[in-house]
Structure 1
Amino acid sequence: MAAYFHLKPSGTQWMFNLVAGNHEIILTSERYTAKQSAQGGIASVQANAPVDARYARLNDAAGKPYFVLKAANGEPLGKSETYSSAAARDQGIEAVKAAAPGAPTKE
């Protein structure tokens, strides 16, 4: 199965996950006030995912690596899970780069 965006309500708001072909969530969005805004977020992820400079490579308070995909204006589009190593985080980034541009949206 190919990767896809899972668009779903979250309380009174909307969010999406980019789900890899192995059913693992590789990117989680911020929450949006409207479904149409979340759909715009998906389009922005698709446009920005191939650009390496859009990924902030970070570590949480416990030192675990993760990444944030940002739009051209610096606004965050989505965040990864935490990874066991920087190499695993970099593989996650490569997975988003490969999967997001052509991924369909499912509700």
Structure 2
Amino acid sequence: MAGKFEISKRAHGEFRFNLKAGNWQVILTSEGYSTKSSYTGGIGAQEQQGRRPPRAQDRQQRQVFLNLTATNGQVIGCSRMNADEGGRDNGIASVKANAPDATVDDQPT
């Protein structure tokens, strides 16, 4: 089952997207976007990053999470917290497997 970008609109009017795996589990959540053109650009960047070696950053707090960054250093999406680096590494593999060919569920336009 292929991945999917699911667009939602926040209460204050901003849009965001979730990259979901084929099992519908959320891999990454985007920042908030004010316009459709800005979030479609974010999706395009995420699809491209899925085709390249990941430019992932992790921050060690109590748990580990993944920030997927564009080539300009801007954060495209953030994962949920993981208990260890293995969970983060699984997230990286899931982005690479799901983002390049993911469909877009663009309901709130």
Q: TM-score, normalised by structure 2?
A: 0.89
Gaps of 5+ in 1: none
Gaps of 5+ in 2: none
Distance 2:5 2:22 in 1: 11
> Residue 14 of structure 2 aligns to which amino acid in structure 1?
Q
**What is the aligned residue count?**
105
Aligned to 2:39: 38
CA contact (8 A) 1:57 1:68 kept: yes
Q: Percent identity?
A: 35
Distance 1:95 1:53 in 2: 11
Check 1:53–1:93 CA distance in 2 against 1; reply closer, same or farther (3 A cut): closer
> Residue 76 of structure 1 aligns to which amino acid in structure 2?
V
**Which deviations, in whole Å up to 9, do the C-alpha atoms of 1:15-65 show, x marking residues without a partner?**
0000111111000000001122111100010011233351112223x2x01
Aligned to 2:6: 6
> Residue 6 of structure 1 aligns to which amino acid in structure 2?
E
